[in-house]
Amino acid sequence: MEELKKIVENLLAMPESELMKELPKHAPALRGRVGELIDAIPNLVPRLIKRLEETDVKKFVTEAPEAAKGFTDLVWEGVGILAERTPDVKGDLEKLGTVTMNFKATDSPLEVNMKISGGKVIGSWGLAEKADLEFSGTTENIMGLLLGSIDPLRGFMLRKFSMKGGMSLGMKVAPVMSKLAKMARGG
């Protein structure tokens, strides 16, 4: 575990250009081990989120899609684990039922999906085949929606992104998305 912890610390500290090259080499060893890493580095997910916010995501997904995919998978794995370990978030996810969402940037190759089912949240790179809700907007706005810097309801009203799917479902999902983002940011 110390070796993996060291790899993560190094990845989080390196410049963006180096991260683009190095992350694909290490992502396979980290995948499936994020729970252990969170135990060793309790603030891991908030640090990953902070790193994403400091990154030019549009450039990152365009120039280094494998690195972007690896980073995305690590973040989603961490968010899923934190959600399971946070009783009020898990309870909200259970109440929501099953919802699949796609998030697509209109100005970059960024495409991710999130599925909420059975009190769990799972996300990954790429679009789900069938989604209940689809969000699209600029890379900056989609990342803001996912990371919590753009409130889902306010962002929709201000046309920061568009949404396809049932408005009532979108209204139910919005507070849960906000709570997930707050949890992932360490708040």
Q: Which of 131, 139, 71 is nearest to 105 (CA)?
A: 139
Contact between 120 and 93 (Cβ < 8 Å): yes
- Measured CA to CA, the distance from residue 150 to residue 65 in angstroms comes to 24
Contact between 86 and 183 (Cβ < 8 Å): yes
Domains of the chain are 2-85 (no CATH), 94-184 (3.30.1050.10)
**Could you state, in chain order, the average pLDDT of each consecutive group of 10 residues for the chain (187 residues)?**
92 93 93 94 94 92 94 94 96 97 98 97 96 98 94 94 95 95 90
- Measured CA to CA, the distance from residue 51 to residue 19 in angstroms comes to 11
- What residue has token string 């209204």? 171
Angle CA(117)–CA(123)–CA(128) in degrees, nearest 5? 85
Q: What is the pLDDT of residue 91?
A: 97
Give the number of other CB atoms < 10 A from CB of residue 44.
23
Q: What is the pLDDT of residue 1?
A: 84
Phi-psi map region of 58: left, alpha, beta (phi>0 left; psi -120 to 50 alpha): alpha
What is the reported pTM?
A: 0.92
Q: What is the pLDDT of residue 187?
A: 74
- Measured CA to CA, the distance from residue 139 to residue 174 in angstroms comes to 19
Exposed, middle or buried, 81 (CB in 10 Å: 0-12/13-18/19+)? buried
Q: What is the pLDDT of residue 38?
A: 96
Q: What is the pLDDT of residue 51?
A: 92
